[in-house]
Amino acid sequence: MRALVVVDVQNDFCPGGALATERGDMVAEGIADLIRDPAAGYGAIVATQDWHIDPGEHFSGSPDFVDSWPIHCVVGTGGAELHPAIKDEAFDEIFRKGEYSAAYSGFEGHAAGDETVTMTTWLRFRHVTDVDVVGIATDHCVKATVLDALREGFGVRVLPELCSPVTVDTGEQALREMESAGARVGR
């Protein structure tokens, strides 16, 4: 069974947000179309959210945009909410990560409804063997989620047209890294 994993399509990562990526809105709309496409055939559709309370050095007043970032996706703010194009979709589960430290991969998170359930546990329980990964940002949280999915033994495809990078160059580089690690890039 194949699942769709929608990574961090949150307002702060889209145009107008604290840490906006240029393609954010376009990617959110495209993902909404995919979710509503009955022919897509996913056995489960889940989302992840960067979900910060006090993530320490992940936030900085003088961020280097590699290990430290402007304040973003703070719990209780609009920036942490899913993009309007997908926020009313009935995800089978949402996994949240990063409350008290940086967390790039969705596999570091836990189910919104149950802190003891990881994404690996959840997917395996539902007999998911393969995942399609989409979302933001290609060069950070998408990449980390894809690499963890491969480590956990899932078959992984990343759909680059439905991913938004921080920069075009680092996005392309990340796709090459995911491919060399064993992910299929594109359908």
**Catalytic residue numbers?**
8, 97, 141
Total site size for Zn ion, rule CB under 5 A: 1
Dihedral sign of CA atoms 179, 140, 164, 74 in order: positive
Nearer to Zn ion, 25 or 50 (CB): 50
In whole angstroms, how close is the CB of 7 to Zn ion at the nearest point? 12
Phi, psi values for residue 154, rounded to 5°? -80, 150
Does position 8 interact with Zn ion (CB under 5 A)? The reply is: no
Q: Which is nearer to Zn ion, 140 or 157 (CB)?
A: 140
Nearer to Zn ion, 50 or 139 (CB): 50
Identify the residue whose tokens are 């149950």: 114
**CA dihedral of residues 180, 3, 37, 143 (deg, nearest 10):** -30
Name the closest residue to Zn ion (Cβ): 50
Q: Which residue has the tokens 């993530």?
A: 55
Instruction: Specify the residue, 55 or 171, whose C-beta has the smaller distance to Zn ion.
Output: 55
The minimum distance between CB 97 and Zn ion, in angstroms, equals 8
Site for Zn ion in 35-64 (CB under 5 A): 50
Which run of H or of E encompasses 132?
strand 130-136
Stretch 112-171 residues interacting with Zn ion (CB under 5 A): none
Question: DSSP class of residue 83?
Answer: P
Contact between 3 and 34 (Cβ < 8 Å): no
Rounded Cα distance between 117 and 40, Å, is 26
Output the smallest distance, CB 9 to Zn ion, in A.
14
What is the binding site for Zn ion (CB under 5 A)?
Answer: 50
